[in-house]
Amino acid sequence: MKDLAELFRLDGKRALVTGAGRGIGLHAARALAAYGAHVTLVARNEAEIVDAAKAIIEEGGDAEAMVLDVTDIDDVRRKIEAAPPFDILVNNAGTNRPGPFVEVEPESFDLVNELNVKAAFFVAQSVARRLIEAGLPGSIINISSQMGHVGAANRTIYCTTKFAVEGMTKAIAVELAPHGIRVNSICPTFIETPMTAPFLENEAFKASVLSKIKLGRLGTVEDLAGALILLAGDASGLMTGSSLLVDGGWTAE
C-alpha cells in the first residue's frame, strides 16, 4: 500500500500547462512543480512564458517554457510529438467575449470557440497520442467553468464553449480509459485573474456575482490547487469523466 502522502506527489511526472503565462495557468504550473512535477509552460508570449518558467525554477521547481500558439494545430502537433510524453495535461488556455446574445457576431463566436474548444480538443489529442504510443497512463485536466453547468446573461458564447468542454471531457474519458488515461475537468466560479479583472471592476457586476457565490467571496487561483493536485496524481486514480466544481456554492441552488 502506498504512503497516503505519496498519493499526491508528482515526482518524475512531466506536466504540460497551456495558457501558463499568467492567472490560473501560471498558478497551476507553480502548484504542479511544488509537488514534484517537471512542468512545461505554454503560451504565445515568449517573454512572459520564459519569465514564468524562470520564476518557478527560482522557487525550487523544475520548469521550462514552450512558446506555442495552441490555435495553430499543426504546430501543436509538431511540438508535442517532438517532446517526451506528458503524464499530465492542464488544458487551461481560454478566452471570453461577453455581450448580449442578440448582438453576438460570428467573428466573436469563432474566436472564443477556436481557443476554448478546438484548441483544447487538439492539444488533448496530441498529448494522448504520445501517451498511447509510449504505453503510458496519464491525466488530462480540462479547465472548464461553472458556466459549463449553468446559464448566464451576456455569456452565451462562453457557456456554449464550456458546455462543449464538459461533453468533450466525458467523451474523451470513455475512449481513453482503456489506455489508463484519465480525463476530468475543473469548473471554477469567478476567479480574480487578469482576464476577469476588467469585468469585476464594474461594482454592480461584482455585486451580482457575489450574490450568487454562497461562500460570499470571489475565488483566487490558490482555491484551485486542491482540485488540481488531486486530479493530477494517484489520489484520484479511479476518477475519470468527472467535473470538480470549485464555485463557492454557485451551482448548489
- Count Cβ atoms below 10 Å from residue 208 Cβ, excluding itself: 12
Report CA-CA distances (Å) from 134 to 95, 131, 179, 215. Answer: 32, 5, 11, 44
* Residue among 13, 35, 79, 162 flagged as catalytic: 162
Residues 6+ apart with CB under 8 A from 140: 88, 89, 91, 124, 127, 128, 172, 176, 181, 182, 183, 184
Give CA–CA dist 228/27, Å, rounded: 10
* Residue among 158, 170, 206, 212 flagged as catalytic: 158
Give CA–CA dist 190/181, Å, rounded: 29
- Would residue 35 show up in a list of annotated catalytic residues for this protein? no
Report CA-CA distances (Å) from 141 to 138, 206, 241. Answer: 10, 28, 10
Give CA–CA dist 138/152, Å, rounded: 34
- Burial label, 17 (beta-carbon count in 10 A; 0-12, 13-18, 19+): buried
- Would residue 2 show up in a list of annotated catalytic residues for this protein? no
- Active-site residue set: 158, 162
